[in-house]
């Protein structure tokens, strides 16, 4: 896919025919220097923005053909999001935040049980009824992970999920994502500028000059960068 921001002289070609595919259950990192288009790419995959040219297939569905309402439902059912900052609705409690995707897409009888279980597996069973603005950054990312998983999405997308955390907490969150991915056979696509902290992963996509280079090891220049 290609993404061009702006018009005329102010045009920025953030992605230039970047092409790749990711299999079910893969744990994938997207790396690249700052401003290389990592977030842009993730936003396209997450259907938060549309490519200027090209297509995004998820579960074999051509998402570029969907209208706004269908895209919303698609995001709700098939995608989970973890962002760098303040992912949560601060007016809601921890538990309510995890339940939010179910509230949006339609709840079922087991929603609350599912949410409690997920919060337990990310280690927050004691914080269920705390308001989301009363917990630490690391805890907030755990809540975001639980929320991202509650609808059993096809893929969880994370844009620098540890970018705002200290290195110890950051390590814990990375391990949590990896273990959840393994346990649930859950596809993760994670934008990061510190891929070395992730250890072994299934795939690393490097964005350079708007293009996507696939591999399963870090390239020389990234280790230096």
Partner 1 sequence: MSMEYRLRLAKRMLFNKKGSLIGAVLAVTIGILVIHVNFVIFQGLFDAIVRDISNYRNGDILVTDEADYIDKSDLALANWFERIPFVQGATPRLSSSAEINMTKNGKLIEETRVPVVGVDPYRDVKASTAHETVAEGTYILNRNSVVLGNNVASDLGNAQVGESLKMLIVDRYGEDQVRRFTVAGIVKSPGGQGLDYSVVMHIDTLRDMMAREGESGSFMVKLNDPTKAFEVKEFFLAAYPNDDFIAETIEESAEEQLAGFRSGIAMINLIGYFGMMSSAFAIVTIQMMLVNGKTREIGVMRSIGAKRKDILIIFIFQGMIIGAIGAGVGTAAGLGYTIYAKETKMSFMNSIPLEVNYNWEKIIQTALLSFTLAIIASLYPSYRATKLLPVEAMRTV
Ligand X SMILES: Nc1ncnc2c1ncn2[C@@H]1O[C@H](COP(=O)(O)OP(=O)(O)O)[C@@H](O)[C@H]1O
SS3 track for the chain: CEEEECCHHHCEEEECCCCCCCCCCCEEEEECCCCCCHHHHHHHHCCCCCCCECCCEECCEEHHHCCHHHHHHHHHHHEEEECCCCCCCCCCEHHHHHHHHHHHHCCCCCHHHHHHHHHHHCCCHHHCCCEHHHCCHHHHHHHHHHHHHCCCCCEEEEECCCCCCCHHHHHHHHHHHHHHHHHHCCEEEEECCCHHHHCCCCEEEEEECCEEEEECCCCHHHHHC
When the beta carbons of 118 and 190 are compared against ligand X, the nearer one is 190
Should residue 14 be labelled a site residue for ligand X when binding is judged by CB under 6 A?
yes
Should residue 87 be labelled a site residue for ligand X when binding is judged by CB under 6 A?
no
Q: Which residues bind partner 1 (CB under 8 A)?
A: 43, 46, 48-49, 68-69, 72-77, 80-81, 83, 85-92, 100-101, 103-105, 147, 159
Among 19, 24, 35, 225, binds ligand X (CB under 6 A): 35
Residue 89 touches which member of partner 1, ligand X, Mg ion, none, C-beta under 5-8 Å by kind: partner 1
When the beta carbons of 11 and 167 are compared against ligand X, the nearer one is 11
Q: Within positions 36 to 95, which residues make up the interface with Mg ion, using CB under 5 A? A: 39
The distance of closest approach from Cβ of residue 191 to ligand X in the complex, given in angstroms and rounded to an integer, is: 7
Residue with the shortest CB distance to Mg ion: 39
When the beta carbons of 105 and 171 are compared against partner 1, the nearer one is 105
The distance of closest approach from Cβ of residue 177 to ligand X in the complex, given in angstroms and rounded to an integer, is: 19
How many residues bind ligand X, per CB under 6 A?
Answer: 12
When the beta carbons of 122 and 188 are compared against ligand X, the nearer one is 188
Please name the residues in contact with 183: beta carbons below 8 A apart, sequence gap of 6 or more.
121
Among 39, 139, 162, 192, binds ligand X (CB under 6 A): 39
When the beta carbons of 180 and 205 are compared against ligand X, the nearer one is 205
């Amino acid at each position: 896919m290609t993404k061009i921001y702006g018009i005329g002289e102010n045009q920025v070609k953030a992605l230039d025919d970047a092409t790749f595919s990711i299999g079910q259950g893969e744990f994938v990192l997207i790396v690249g220097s700052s401003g290389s288009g990592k977030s842009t790419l993730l936003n396209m995959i997450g259907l938060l923005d549309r490519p200027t040219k090209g297509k995004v297939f998820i579960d074999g569905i051509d998402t570029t053909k969907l209208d706004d309402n269908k895209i919303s439902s698609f995001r709700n059912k098939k995608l989970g999001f973890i962002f760098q900052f303040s992912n949560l609705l601060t007016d809601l409690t921890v538990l309510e935040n995890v339940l939010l995707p179910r509230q949006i897409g339609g709840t079922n009888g087991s929603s609350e049980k599912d949410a409690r279980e997920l919060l337990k597996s990310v280690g927050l069973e004691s914080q269920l009824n705390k308001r989301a603005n009363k917990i630490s950054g690391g805890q907030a990312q755990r809540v975001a992970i639980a929320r991202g998983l509650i609808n059993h999405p096809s893929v969880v997308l994370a844009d620098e999920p540890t970018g705002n955390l200290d290195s110890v907490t950051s390590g814990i969150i990375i391990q949590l994502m990896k273990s959840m991915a393994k346990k649930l056979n859950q596809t993760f696509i994670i934008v990061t500028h510190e891929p070395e902290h992730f250890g072994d992963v299934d795939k690393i996509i490097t964005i350079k000059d708007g293009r996507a280079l696939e591999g399963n090891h870090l390239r020389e220049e990234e280790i230096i960068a």
